[in-house]
Structure 1
């Protein structure tokens, strides 16, 4: 049996599907851009991040590396025609990114990559925020699910979705604690009538 070489697998996949992989590359590029340009100006906000952004990036980095490492394994391959799977996976990924960016634009200047509450912060309940409290995270998780499908292995899907979901849920706790402290009863009532990530479910 020829030993599995993840680097060789990745090189082969990119050479065969350059355009699709180019579109996939928009995912990390967009997230890096957010990390660089949407940090809080400390003088204008109270920071409550508690290192959650660093932890999330660490988990994402490890998970993506592990997902690539497992993608070409002969076990747990997603049984779907290669081109069909990649197009479907790309559609899921782009849908997730669309949800994330629509949510970010809805928040406007209140969106930051670190957990913070601005001096004139107020509750946003328009757009996707009518249905879930954290649509940008829901979109992010959907995008990672699509990325796992794109890699073509159920192990890749699991190693992307499960650890990142855990990190996001921990970060949500930190965010919501800060928002409850800042916005008081209005945010508590919002939490009672609106689910976290999946409308009507969770």
Structure 2
């Protein structure tokens, strides 16, 4: 088995683990009443671009080898680093879901009786879910031995992040007012002490 194959398999395992972590929260969220939503055509497009970069293109590569012109041979160190970043991403992803509990939503929604979560991993970072997704996109870039499929996660998720984080924070400020503004003052968006 080549190191390129190991990387692709590690990426697939990361995606499976991501789904296993998310599935129970997704089921529970379908039963919870949404009080406020900012979903719409723009949000659907952002989600589609992100899903294409983090799922469709690398999945297509893993199954068919397309686009073969962008293949390269990764180093063992690169794939090992990708596996470490994937583990970090999954740990962050799990901690985020655990902290949010019933407040979790796949999109820009506020639940009935929604509470501002500032405990657990949210104590220092406002958007640890985005930190987890940035980490997954970086792991994908390191694990998938194809320039197009590997980097598509950074482009796809980056598009979603930069177009969504502003509206999301405005929605939270509108819902929680001064509490959210004070929370923003003492936390970073995605990397403690950096951004």
Regarding TM over 0.5, the answer is: yes
| Residue ranges of structure 2 left out of the alignment (5+ in a row) | none
Q: Does 1:132 align with 2:125?
A: yes
Q: Which residue of 2 aligns with 1:151?
A: 144
What is the CA-CA distance between 1:101 and the residue it aligns to?
Answer: 1.5
Q: TM-score, normalised by structure 1?
A: 0.74
What is the CA-CA distance between 1:65 and the residue it aligns to?
Answer: 3.8
Q: In structure 2, how many angstroms separate the alpha carbons of the residues matched to 1:47 and 1:140?
A: 22
The structure with higher relative contact order (CA 8 Å, sep 6+) is 2
Structural RMSD (CA): 3.1
Q: 1:153 to 1:34 in 2, by over 3 A?
A: farther
More deviation, 21-30/175-184: 21-30
Q: In structure 1, how many angstroms separate the alpha carbons of the residues matched to 2:184 and 2:50?
A: 27
Q: Does 1:100 align with 2:93?
A: yes
Q: TM-score, normalised by structure 2?
A: 0.76
| Residue ranges of structure 1 left out of the alignment (5+ in a row) | 1-12
What is the CA-CA distance between 1:156 and the residue it aligns to?
Answer: 3.9
Q: 1:61 to 1:124 in 2, by over 3 A?
A: closer
Q: Select the residue among 29, 35, 39 that pairs with 1:45.
A: 35
Q: Select the residue among 36, 47, 58 that pairs with 2:48.
A: 58
SS at structure 2 position matched to 1:184: helix
More deviation, 98-107/122-131: 122-131
Q: In structure 1, how many angstroms separate the alpha carbons of the residues matched to 2:8 and 2:151?
A: 25
Q: Which residue of 2 aligns with 1:111?
A: 104
Q: In structure 1, how many angstroms separate the alpha carbons of the residues matched to 2:20 and 2:92?
A: 13
Q: In structure 2, how many angstroms separate the alpha carbons of the residues matched to 1:157 and 1:189?
A: 38
**Contact in 2 for aligned 1:46/1:118 (Cα 8 Å):** yes
Q: 1:170 to 1:118 in 2, by over 3 A?
A: same
Q: 1:24 to 1:121 in 2, by over 3 A?
A: closer
Q: Does 1:73 align with 2:70?
A: yes
What is the CA-CA distance between 1:195 and the residue it aligns to?
Answer: 1.6
**Contact in 1 for aligned 2:137/2:153 (Cα 8 Å):** yes
Q: Which residue of 2 aligns with 1:8?
A: none
